[in-house]
Amino acid sequence: MDENDWKYHGEGNKSLVVSHIQHSRVLRLLKYPSEDAENTHQTTEQAFQHILNIVDYSRNVMKPLLGEKYVHSGEVVKLPLDFVRKLSLKIQQERPELRCDKVMDTFSGCGLCLPNLTHLSPCHFGDRRPPLCVEIKPKCGFLPFSRHVTKECKRKVCRFCMHQHFKLANGKWNRLSRYCPLDLFSGNKQRMYIAIKNLLEEPQNNLKIFKGGELIYSCRDDAKQQPDLNELVQHLWPYFHHSNGHQSSKTVLSEFIQVICSALLSPGDSNRSGEQRKMQLSDSRVHCEASPLHREHLRNGSPGLPKDCVLAKILQAQMMDNLDIEGLYPLYKRVEQHLEEFPNDRNTLQIDGPYDLSFLEKVKTCPEDDGTVEYAVAKVLQYRVAMTAKDCSIMITFAPCGEDEKLQPHLEIQPTKSRFASSVSILDLDPKPYESVPHQYKLDTKIVNYYLKSTITTQ
Ligand code: ATP
Ligand code: ZN
Ligand code: MG
Ligand code: MG
């Protein structure tokens, strides 16, 4: 292993990713808060088990729920410590400042090897233009419908939009995003178009764009500055240029957004039979009052999502949170009480895994509340699966097929479908810890209270 074969690719809150300079592979390494790095670093055995859990959870739990074709679980690898240390030094200066509160794990030598999803796997022939990849972290796409919800505003304004106000107040971001997940998940092309446009204007950590595996568009490290859409258009222009005339920036962006929309709605292989089944939510759940959309876009109602498209799959998993954190928290406390009395049951109840077939069975069953701890555990597990689905990212990778000659100059709207080869995947499917439930409960209260306070004073 030579650190010079790998380069910095990106990072989130939990892990740092490097990509191989030749092969289409990435290594995902865990991160720790820098103040803990010295004293609480895990033993190699613990770290190995932790990463094994991540792979098992992705492979045995999330993949069956989200669909085989979208999920790539990767494999655990043992890396020479010398390699990891050199790599960590090499990439340090490329890391964004806002992520440097954590350090890369250089103690365990364990990592996760995954396909590089910013590349297109079956090579596209006959075109020199590198693939484009759009990464979207969509967040929660529905309004809670649980009878346990106590604050009326949670039924009208989505979590993402409320959270924006809280993040602005805490200095996490400097501007409000106009993106609303309910628009993206609506299945209504106009609403989806506007949602993606809003992501482009204020990407925060919900949108990244790669070209040939290189990050070309994301939020600036210096959060005060907005990323440059004109620069993006320059990158996109060669992909959306037609021989029949000059393309304005607006047309280029608009065609780009349409390609993203089609990929998000693409029903996948399992649905070739023509007639498309839809996933439909009741109308009250699909519109967020904080979304800046005009009423006229909503008048047509919502067409729903094609049943097996990536958005429908993610939304289905998110909706396993059907009690809302307010209804879930008492059940968490029921589990806690039980574990206090019978600490050994932690293993048999599979609180921390193993993430195997029987774990998936527990998640898939919808038991009635019979007052048992088994019911409470099943609901907590479902909630954790939903949290993972609310935090994952979609990767849409596409490249021209090299069939531009076949374009028909007399057609005003070219059939974009046939011009690009594309692939859609879901990444970042880590298990959310059982212990995070109380934190989620407190955070929910804080976000809602802050939203009520801040919107009342501005009205
Ligand atoms: P979060 O803070 O969102 O939970 P995380 O720390 O769990 O993030 P990931 O989202 O898995 O980390 O990875 C960080 C970034 O690395 C991703 O946003 C993506 O841009 C990139 N990345 C991760 N896995 C891959 C992959 N298989 N191929 C290409 N890029 C990847
Ligand atoms: Zn919203
Ligand atoms: Mg992520
Ligand atoms: Mg993550």
| In the chain, domain spans | 3-115, 132-136+152-308+399-421, 324-388+432-458
Ligand 1 atom 21 nearest Cα: 10
Closest ligand to C-alpha of residue 209 is 1
Distances (CA, A) of 74 to 9, 51, 70, 111, 113: 17, 10, 13, 10, 5
Q: What is the mean pLDDT of the chain?
A: 89
* CA of residue 172 to ligand 1 center, whole Å: 20
Band (285; pLDDT cuts 50, 70, 90): low
Read off the pLDDT of each residue in 445-454 and give the average, rounded to a whole number: 96
The answer to whether the CB of 223 falls within 8 A of the CB of 173 is yes
**Which of 436, 433, 361 is closest to 53 using CA atoms?**
433
117 within ligand 1 shell (Cβ under 6 A): yes
Q: What would the DSSP string read from start to end of 32-95? A: EETTTTTTSPPPHHHHHHHHHHHHHIIIIIIHHHH-GGGB---EEEE--HHHHHHHHHHHGGGS
105 within ligand 1 shell (Cβ under 6 A): no
Q: Is 158 left (phi over 0), alpha (psi -120 to 50) or beta?
A: beta
388 within ligand 1 shell (Cβ under 6 A): no
Q: What would the DSSP string read from start to end of 366-402? A: -----S-HHHHHHHHHHHHHHHHHHH-EEEEEEEE-S
* CA of residue 428 to ligand 1 center, whole Å: 6
12 within ligand 1 shell (Cβ under 6 A): yes
What residues sit around ligand 2, an ion, with C-beta below 5 angstroms? Answer: 158, 161, 180, 288, 290-291
425 within ligand 1 shell (Cβ under 6 A): no
* CA of residue 53 to ligand 2 center, whole Å: 33
**Which of 178, 183, 2, 197 is closest to 82 using CA atoms?**
2
Whether pLDDT at 258 is above 70? yes
Q: Which residue has the higher pLDDT, 117 or 280?
A: 117
The answer to whether the CB of 111 falls within 8 A of the CB of 121 is no
444 within ligand 1 shell (Cβ under 6 A): no
Check if the interface score ipTM surpasses 0.90. yes
For residue 454, what are the contacts with CB-CB under 8 A and spacing of at least 6?
165, 169
Ligand 1 atom 23 nearest Cα: 17
What is the spatial distance between Cα 272 and Cα 115, in angstroms, rounded to a whole number? 27
User: Which of the listed CATH numbers 1.20.1260.10, 3.30.200.110, 3.40.50.2020, 3.10.150.10 matches domain 3-115?
Assistant: 3.30.200.110
Read off the pLDDT of each residue in 397-426 and give the average, rounded to a whole number: 69
Q: What is the pLDDT of residue 35?
A: 74
**Which of 14, 428, 73, 19 is closest to 215 using CA atoms?**
19
What is the spatial distance between Cα 447 and Cα 295, in angstroms, rounded to a whole number? 26
Pocket test for ligand 1, best of 94, 134, 137, 427 (most atoms within 8 A of CB): 427
| Terminal alpha carbon distance of the chain | 60
For residue 200, what are the contacts with CB-CB under 8 A and spacing of at least 6?
207, 217, 229, 232, 253, 257
List, in sequence order, every residue forming a beta bridge with 30; answer none if it has no partner.
15
13 within ligand 1 shell (Cβ under 6 A): yes
The H or E element that residue 327 is part of is helix 324-341
Q: Which residue has the higher pLDDT, 220 or 119?
A: 119
Q: What is the pLDDT of residue 417?
A: 44
Pocket test for ligand 1, best of 7, 11, 114, 215 (most atoms within 8 A of CB): 11
Per residue in 382-401, pLDDT tens? 999 999 999 999 999 999 88
**Which atom of ligand 1 has the smallest separation from the CA of 210?**
20
Closest ligand to C-alpha of residue 159 is 2
Q: What is the pLDDT of residue 299?
A: 61
For residue 112, what are the contacts with CB-CB under 8 A and spacing of at least 6?
15, 27, 28, 29, 51, 54, 55, 74, 75, 76, 77
The H or E element that residue 230 is part of is helix 229-236
Q: Which residue has the higher pLDDT, 16 or 121?
A: 16
The answer to whether the CB of 422 falls within 8 A of the CB of 133 is no
135 within ligand 1 shell (Cβ under 6 A): yes
Question: What count of other Cβ atoms lies within 10 Å of the Cβ of residue 349?
Answer: 20
Q: What is the pLDDT of residue 402?
A: 66
Band (416; pLDDT cuts 50, 70, 90): very low
Q: Which amino acid is at 379?
A: K
Q: What is the pLDDT of residue 128?
A: 77
Measure CA 316 to chain center.
Answer: 14
* CA of residue 47 to ligand 4 center, whole Å: 16
**Which atom of ligand 1 has the smallest separation from the CA of 16?**
14
* CA of residue 362 to ligand 4 center, whole Å: 23
